[in-house]
């Protein structure tokens, strides 16, 4: 009997029938599904012991205390110790893995170039360090380094000479400062919120304005005029004209500040007029106090004094070292450029990405990103007493990074390997103040703690708070008149603060419209018509910080004449142009 095809088919049929009565095909289906759950490309969370570590967030000078939930050594979630963190702080542990993060840089070449340029410095040329976040221990090291270099200059953005005491305030007038959206530590602002009435005076209805008790929609650039008129240094009618408010509103506001004290007036930088207005309202020593600073080793006092950029002669800087790794206020590049020598200035930027001054520097050297940094935080704008808090690294920094402090100290031949420890020792030696450790929430007087324990505690998550100094005599009521500048047809105003953001911030920019994304602007329909753009149009935004391609959104709730932008490094509110592409 020959085997026919039908025989084979019968056999196969039987085999198929029998196979389905065995576990084999069902197992294979299940296994394929299980395999697809774990096939290459699907990441797996690491397993390990859950630990808690403490540090301070170094993304902005508020320096909120952070509790990190770690799997093994790796932080997987951050939370505030005294309250909530801002969204940037919540996602800060992602920054080391940001695609734009710099990992490598020409360190040796930069060092050689700097040494060569310094040697070539002419008699009227100088070497300068630009420190975007002054007031740190690193800043002292830069100042000491510059004191040791011939014609060394230490430049930093001017810091407010005062701190504010929100806890004491009953009425707060904010001239455009985002008090409830990042001006100071969110935990502090909201802890004090229920105790004061907030009047927000600014052209756009910002987040702070929407939560304030009153929003005064004043014209762009008229904050100083309002401050002056509240102090009686400017005629109310003039102020009403400039701000666009009714005279009666200004009079009522002045009365409220006087009668519902203690009052506090703030603006973004605590400008001279605002400080003087506060003094005029009797707030000195109550809601504004001198800016405190933690003790410093006596040997450091010979450090170079901070200079403002404007005070540096034009065309005099041959070598400029910019520490952008601890960002604060960005000075506009065109202002900086004026101070560089015309022929071959050398600019070295220490940064975590190329987006800031890296665009203009000859060398961009990679610095540690949070949470890899070791740094201290300067006194925050709402720090009433001197404080010392460390941002201690939660994970080790990768190889190839540069510590800007070591680099600059090396350039100046200054040996300053453990400046932070020296500072901590000096603070401990002063015997004043108390140490609050976060792990157990306990507070101990510094006198009762040994120097080594003090240092260890600071590194494990603690803060030192000194005694608030006596406020002393109030500064004089020096008002500087507000020049009446022509109001530009279109003014760019920042809707968001520029802080490093994790890829997860796409939730608030791209996957929702909660915050204005970096590639979007918002305008009133009338302003948009004047610029020739409509909703969704692609356009170029020109501001003092440069040009950018953006998409336009129309919103009739925005002040006409204002274009809302998401602030980037170097952004200054001011004249803007939106040109359709």
| Residues 467-526 within binding reach of other proteins (CB under 8 A) | 502-508, 510-515, 522, 524
Q: How many CB atoms lie within 10 A of CB 46?
A: 10
Q: Footprint of other proteins on residues 402-431 (CB under 8 A)?
A: none
- Cα angle 135, 136, 138; round to 5: 125
Q: Which of 187, 416, 435, 566 binds other proteins (CB under 8 A)?
A: 187
3-state secondary structure of 409: helix
Span of 8-16, 261-269, 412-420, 476-484 interacting with other proteins by CB under 8 A: 8-16
Span of 72-80, 329-337, 379-387, 471-479 interacting with other proteins by CB under 8 A: 72-80
Residue 371: is the preceding peptide bond cis (ω within 30°)?
A: yes
Q: Is 77 in the site for other proteins (CB under 8 A)?
A: yes
3-state secondary structure of 200: strand
Q: Is 535 in the site for other proteins (CB under 8 A)?
A: yes
Q: Which of 125, 131, 181, 372 binds other proteins (CB under 8 A)?
A: 181
Span of 81-89, 131-139, 248-256, 310-318 interacting with other proteins by CB under 8 A: 81-89
208 in Cβ contact with 178 (< 8 Å)? yes
Span of 84-92, 108-116, 349-357, 481-489 interacting with other proteins by CB under 8 A: 84-92
3-state secondary structure of 62: coil
Q: Smallest gap, in angstroms, from Cβ of residue 407 to other proteins?
A: 25
Q: Smallest gap, in angstroms, from Cβ of residue 504 to other proteins?
A: 5
Q: Please name which of 268, 253, 262 lies closest in space to residue 196, comparing C-alpha atoms.
A: 262
Work out the widest C-alpha separation in the chain, in whole angstroms: 120
Q: Which residues are within 8 A (CB) of 160 and not within 5 positions of it... i.e. 6 or more apart?
A: 269, 270, 275, 291, 381
Q: Which is nearer to other proteins, 301 or 529 (CB)?
A: 529
Q: Which of 170, 207, 269, 421 binds other proteins (CB under 8 A)?
A: 207
What CA–CA distance (Å, rounded) separates 1 from 466?
A: 105
Q: Footprint of other proteins on residues 552-581 (CB under 8 A)?
A: 553-560
Q: Which residues pair with 549 in a beta bridge?
A: 540
Residue 127-166 contact track with other proteins, rule CB under 8 A, x = bound: ----------------------------------------
Span of 109-117, 187-195, 344-352, 417-425 interacting with other proteins by CB under 8 A: 187-195
Q: Footprint of other proteins on residues 9-68 (CB under 8 A)?
A: 10-19, 21-24, 27-28, 30-32, 34-38, 41-50
Q: Smallest gap, in angstroms, from Cβ of residue 218 to other proteins?
A: 10
Q: Smallest gap, in angstroms, from Cβ of residue 216 to other proteins?
A: 9
What CA–CA distance (Å, rounded) separates 228 from 236?
A: 9
Angstrom CA distances, 31 to 19, 36, 348, stand at: 16, 8, 56
Q: Which of 57, 180, 257, 385 binds other proteins (CB under 8 A)?
A: 180
Q: Which is nearer to other proteins, 77 or 429 (CB)?
A: 77
Span of 175-183, 255-263, 372-380, 468-476 interacting with other proteins by CB under 8 A: 175-183
Q: Smallest gap, in angstroms, from Cβ of residue 523 to other proteins?
A: 11
Span of 185-193, 293-301, 361-369, 463-471 interacting with other proteins by CB under 8 A: 185-193
Q: Footprint of other proteins on residues 376-405 (CB under 8 A)?
A: none
Q: How many CB atoms lie within 10 A of CB 510?
A: 13
Q: Which is nearer to other proteins, 476 or 536 (CB)?
A: 536
Residue 559 has which token pair?
A: 């002040």
Q: Which is nearer to other proteins, 41 or 476 (CB)?
A: 41
Residue 262: is the preceding peptide bond cis (ω within 30°)?
A: yes
| Strand stretches in 219-374, DSSP E | 263-267, 288-290, 306-307, 317-323, 346-351, 363-366
158 in Cβ contact with 308 (< 8 Å)? yes
Could you tell me whether strands 375-376 and 387-391 are parallel, antiparallel, or unpaired per DSSP bridges? Answer: antiparallel
| Structure letter (DSSP) for residue 214 | E
Q: Smallest gap, in angstroms, from Cβ of residue 188 to other proteins?
A: 10
Matching residue, tokens 């830069």: 142
Q: Please name which of 206, 235, 237 lies closest in space to residue 220, comparing C-alpha atoms.
A: 206
Q: Is 368 in the site for other proteins (CB under 8 A)?
A: no
Span of 123-131, 207-215, 358-366, 374-382 interacting with other proteins by CB under 8 A: 207-215
214 phi, psi to nearest 5 deg = -140, 140
Q: Which is nearer to other proteins, 27 or 124 (CB)?
A: 27
Q: Which of 65, 85, 231, 419 binds other proteins (CB under 8 A)?
A: 85
Size of the site for other proteins (CB under 8 A): 96
3-state secondary structure of 78: strand
What CA–CA distance (Å, rounded) separates 423 from 299?
A: 11
- The span from the first CA to the last CA of the chain, in angstroms, equals 84
Q: Which is nearer to other proteins, 36 or 470 (CB)?
A: 36
Q: Which is nearer to other proteins, 181 or 382 (CB)?
A: 181
Span of 55-63, 71-79, 294-302, 461-469 interacting with other proteins by CB under 8 A: 71-79
Q: Footprint of other proteins on residues 265-284 (CB under 8 A)?
A: none
Q: Which is nearer to other proteins, 321 or 558 (CB)?
A: 558
Q: Smallest gap, in angstroms, from Cβ of residue 11 to other proteins?
A: 4
Q: Which is nearer to other proteins, 78 or 240 (CB)?
A: 78
What CA–CA distance (Å, rounded) separates 375 from 391?
A: 5
Q: Please name which of 291, 451, 309, 462 lies closest in space to residue 378, comparing C-alpha atoms.
A: 291
| Strand stretches in 221-377, DSSP E | 263-267, 288-290, 306-307, 317-323, 346-351, 363-366, 375-376
Q: Footprint of other proteins on residues 306-345 (CB under 8 A)?
A: none
Q: Footprint of other proteins on residues 91-130 (CB under 8 A)?
A: 91, 93-94, 96-99
**What count of Cα atoms within 13 Å lies in the side-chain half-sphere of residue 493?**
28
Q: Which residues pair with 329 in a beta bridge?
A: none
């Amino acid at each position: 009997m020959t085997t026919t095809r039908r025989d084979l088919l019968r056999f196969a049929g039987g085999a198929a029938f029998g196979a389905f009565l065995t576990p084999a095909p069902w197992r294979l289906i299940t296994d394929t599904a299980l395999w697809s759950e774990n096939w290459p490309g699907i990441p797996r969370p690491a397993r390990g012991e859950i630990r808690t570590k403490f540090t301070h967030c170094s993304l902005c000078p508020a320096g909120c205390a952070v509790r990190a939930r770690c799997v093994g050594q790796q932080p997987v979630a951050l939370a505030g110790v005294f309250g909530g963190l801002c969204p940037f702080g919540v996602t800060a542990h992602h920054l080391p893995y940001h695609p734009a993060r710099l990992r490598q840089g020409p360190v040796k070449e930069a060092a050689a170039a700097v040494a060569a340029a310094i040697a070539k410095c002419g008699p009227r040329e100088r070497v300068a360090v630009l420190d975007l976040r002054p007031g740190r221990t690193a800043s002292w090291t830069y100042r000491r380094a510059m004191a040791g270099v011939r014609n060394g200059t230490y430049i930093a953005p001017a810091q407010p000479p005062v701190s504010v005491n929100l806890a004491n305030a009953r009425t707060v007038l904010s001239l455009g400062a985002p008090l409830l959206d990042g001006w100071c530590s969110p935990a502090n602002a909201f802890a004090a919120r229920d105790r004061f009435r907030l009047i927000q005076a600014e052209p756009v209805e910002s987040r702070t304005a929407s939560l304030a008790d009153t929003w005064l929609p004043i014209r762009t650039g008229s904050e100083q005029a309002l401050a002056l008129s509240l102090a009686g240094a400017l005629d109310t009618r003039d102020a009403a004209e400039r701000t666009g408010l009714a005279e009666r509103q200004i009079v009522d506001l002045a009365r409220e500040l006087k009668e519902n004290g203690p009052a506090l007036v703030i603006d973004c930088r605590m400008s001279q007029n605002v400080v003087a207005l506060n003094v005029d309202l009797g707030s000195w020593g109550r809601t504004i106090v001198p800016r405190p600073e933690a003790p410093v080793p006596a040997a450091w006092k010979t450090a170079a004094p901070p200079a403002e950029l404007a005070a540096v002669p034009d065309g005099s800087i041959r070598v400029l070292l910019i520490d952008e790794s601890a960002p604060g206020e960005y000075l506009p590049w065109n202002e900086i450029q004026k101070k560089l020598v015309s022929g071959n200035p050398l600019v070295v930027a220490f940064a975590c990405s190329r987006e800031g001054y890296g665009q203009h520097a000859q060398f961009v050297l990679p610095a540690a990103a949070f949470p890899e940094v070791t740094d201290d935080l300067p006194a925050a704008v709402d720090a009433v007493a001197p404080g010392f808090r460390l941002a201690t690294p939660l994970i080790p920094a990768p190889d190839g990074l540069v510590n800007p402090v070591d680099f600059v100290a090396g350039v100046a031949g200054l040996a300053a390997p453990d400046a932070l420890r020296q500072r901590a020792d000096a603070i401990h030696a002063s015997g004043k103040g108390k140490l609050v450790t976060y792990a157990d929430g306990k507070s101990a007087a510094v006198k009762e703690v040994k120097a080594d324990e003090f240092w260890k505690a600071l590194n494990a998550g603690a803060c030192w708070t000194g005694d608030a100094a006596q406020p002393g005599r109030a500064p004089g009521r020096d008002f500087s008149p507000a020049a009446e500048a022509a109001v530009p047809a279109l003014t760019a105003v920042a809707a968001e603060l520029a802080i490093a953001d994790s890829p997860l911030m796409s939730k608030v920019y791209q996957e929702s419209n909660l915050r204005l994304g970096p590639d979007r602007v918002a305008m009133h329909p009338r302003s948009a018509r004047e610029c020739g753009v409509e909703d969704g149009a692609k356009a170029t935004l020109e501001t003092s910080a440069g040009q950018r391609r953006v998409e336009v959104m129309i919103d009739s709730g925005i002040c006409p004449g204002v274009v809302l932008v998401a602030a980037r490094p170097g952004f200054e509110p001011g004249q803007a142009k939106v040109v359709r592409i």
